[in-house]
Structure 1
Amino acid sequence: MRLSSPLLLLLGLFLLSPVVAEEKQLEEQEEEQKEPDNDHIMLDSLEQGVTSTVDATARWFDRFFGDSRAFEDEYSTQGRLSVGPEWSEFDGTKVRSSFRARVNLPHAERRFSAFIGRVDIDDFVAGEDTQRRSSVLRNVSGDSEWLVGLGFDPHQGEQSRFSVNAGIRGGLRADLYTEGRYLFQYRMSDRTQVRTRSVGFWRNSDGFGFAQRLDYEQTAGDDWLGRFTIEGTRAERISGIRWHSSASVYHLYAEERAIATEIWYAGESGNVVPDRDMGIRGIHRQSWRRDWFYIESWIGMHWPKEEPGQTRKGSWLVGIEFEMWYGQN
């Protein structure tokens, strides 16, 4: 009986299939036994960049405590609303409140965003308003007011980023402002990194200015972070250079519960009293009921001075803040 060509072809494939499968299995075993490619390992390590332990830990504490990188992640809508009564032996009782909302505009590859909020314009334009608890460490002459603006992020790299913002402050006063910010972070090791932030700005009422900030961060495990910060601002509205330095230690001691200790020193070089304030405080922060609602309390002591003949003496600080975040789902 003669077999047709198609039948002969099928019969041949059937007989050869075990041989082919065995050869393929041997090739896979040889690949598994090969030593890893060192070039690929180096490239993978380089690609990770600042997504190392220190940066991941720093970002977590920044987000948990509402620090300056809290609005740099990949959410389309971000914002927060806070109310915080505080008492100081020096200033008495005050109730601070703030509102911020930033929306990344669609169809623009996440490069454009809109902003509206009630913040301290002096600190916001200099890039300091997002610093944790600006209600305590704020510009003594500042005050909150409404701000509306647009942002453009032409470069959003993991290691560096550049952004431009412009808007209107003061409601009907229509005081225009614009600024450019450049953030760069360099990983020195898996536990240490340095970040710099440079801000050039212009305001219709106050002219040109420049602010520079340097952060040194080091971790000890995933639940400890130490940070030293120094920053200075020079502008036509400032007498000399307004500066601020601080040293902080953060510790996550339970799920969604953390404590921090902070020492700060602040002043303005051209002022009648250059070193206007210094202090220390302990902070406790935790989420309550929901992962977007936080309660933060602090107690400490500072040594302010406003007039040359004034005696510098210790004054107690006590405060609590209720804060609601949205846009983090």
Structure 2
Amino acid sequence: MYDRFASAFGSWARSGILAGACLVMPLLAAAEKPPGAAPVAPGFLDRFQQGFAHTLDQSSRWVDGLFGEERYTNAGKGANGQLQVRTLWQEYQGIRVRTQLRANLPLAQLSHRLNAFIGKGGTDDIVQDKNQSPTGSSDPKDNSWLVGLGYTPPWSHAQRVTLQAGAILRWPPDAYVRANYHYQHAFAPGQTVTFSESVFWKESEQFGCSSSLDFAWQLRDDLVLRFPNWAKISDATSGVQYDSRAHLYQKLGNHRALLYGVGLQGDTRDAVPVRQYGAYVVYRQRMFRDWLTGELIAGATMLRENGWSRRKLSTIVGVGFEMAFEEKHDATGSVLSDRLLRSPQ
């Protein structure tokens, strides 16, 4: 009886998300502005986006002001980052609503080399310097908050070396410190390689290190091929955790794009070294404003957990929205809310 109920619930869940996707598709189409269209008057979306950035920025400026005589005279960029909401349905995990926040809060008065940051959802990925998967966080239960401070040493050429310290706000709190080295090199027109190495200590894992290697080729003006790879080892892992993918980005024009991806992930010392492998497609389009993006996600993986006797097909469907924000200051500290920057994907 339980199996029949679970099967029925899964069917209802898929039907619900697919119905939601059918509702979102016309919304995406309606959101596409024709070339040369007149600017849209500020409305609820603008007030929400500007208010969200302003609230975060005021918090960082209050803290920054405690260490400076002129609290509101710093010019330049204020709070900036991204807020993402995704609803995903995946077999064997069910429906999950994922909210992810990545916010950078400059502390210019204290030091132009120091910044605060806030994160929510996928916080373990932040500590481990792991890029987010297009189909969601590697740990669906990781929905914690993270706060911390970042510092760029004066001898760090092109800000290649950064230091971080912070805590994941769960019980008990999970404190961490991290040193990161980042290097990017273009070895031919349209061909780049990016390397990142992190050494960290985290209360729940003790010492560990992670490595990222990303190759990118621009095949045509509308096609980019990428191979992002990530690996981690720590005192809490039995072997080497890894995540390796191949992504093809296709620009469709008018702020629309498709991502075709294949990948695999696992742990070399687990009973099942390859936890899952599969393929997925993500459709992304800007909606109403340059800083608001909608997405539709579909895919399938072959999943096998430790203890399972065989590998099982696991389908994935979902919808999502992403809001980029940035607060700007002028020389007198007033807010230039209409100067918004859309961070690239």
CA RMSD of aligned residues (A): 2.1
Alignment of 1:186-265 (within 5 A): 186-265=185-264
Cα distance change, pair 309–315 in 1 and its aligned pair in 2 (3 A): closer
% identical aligned pairs: 30
SS in 1 for 2:124: helix
Structure 2 contact 302–313 (Cα < 8 Å) conserved: yes
Aligned to 1:102: 104
Shift of 1:141: 7.0
Alignment of 1:56-205 (within 5 A): 75-107=77-109, 110-128=112-130, 130-133=131-134, 135=136, 138-140=137-139, 142-154=141-153, 157=157, 161-171=160-170, 173-205=172-204
User: 1 CA distance for matches of 2:91 and 2:173?
Assistant: 37
Shift of 1:172: 6.2
Q: Which residue identity does 1:306 align to in structure 2?
A: E
Based on CA coordinates, which of the two structures has the bigger radius of gyration?
1
Identify unmatched segments of 5+ residues in structure 2: 1-75, 327-339
Shift of 1:108: 5.8
User: 2 CA distance for matches of 1:234 and 1:217?
Assistant: 25
User: What per-residue deviation string (whole Å, max 9, x for no partner) do you get for residues 32-67 of structure 1?
Assistant: xxxxxxxxxxxxxxxxxxxxxxxxxxxxxxxxxxxx
User: What per-residue deviation string (whole Å, max 9, x for no partner) do you get for residues 81-117 of structure 1?
Assistant: 2221111123221111122211121136642110112
User: What per-residue deviation string (whole Å, max 9, x for no partner) do you get for residues 245-274 of structure 1?
Assistant: 000000111121111100011001122211
Shift of 1:234: 0.2
User: 2 CA distance for matches of 1:132 and 1:243?
Assistant: 12
Shift of 1:156: 6.5
Shift of 1:139: 2.7
Give the structure, 1 or 2, with the largest relative contact order (CA under 8 Å, sep 6 or more): 2
SS in 1 for 2:290: strand
SS in 2 for 1:122: helix
Structure 1 contact 297–321 (Cα < 8 Å) conserved: yes
Alignment of 1:269-288 (within 5 A): 269-288=268-287
SS in 1 for 2:312: coil
TM superposition score normalised by structure 1: 0.71
Identify unmatched segments of 5+ residues in structure 1: 1-73
Cα distance change, pair 75–240 in 1 and its aligned pair in 2 (3 A): farther
Q: Which residue identity does 1:122 align to in structure 2?
A: D
Shift of 1:121: 2.8
Structure 1 contact 122–139 (Cα < 8 Å) conserved: no
Structure 1 contact 284–298 (Cα < 8 Å) conserved: yes
User: 1 CA distance for matches of 2:244 and 2:105?
Assistant: 31
Cα distance change, pair 315–185 in 1 and its aligned pair in 2 (3 A): same
User: 1 CA distance for matches of 2:195 and 2:105?
Assistant: 25
TM superposition score normalised by structure 2: 0.68
Q: How many residue pairs are counted as aligned between the two chains? A: 252
Aligned to 2:299: 300
Q: Which residue identity does 2:134 align to in structure 1?
A: R
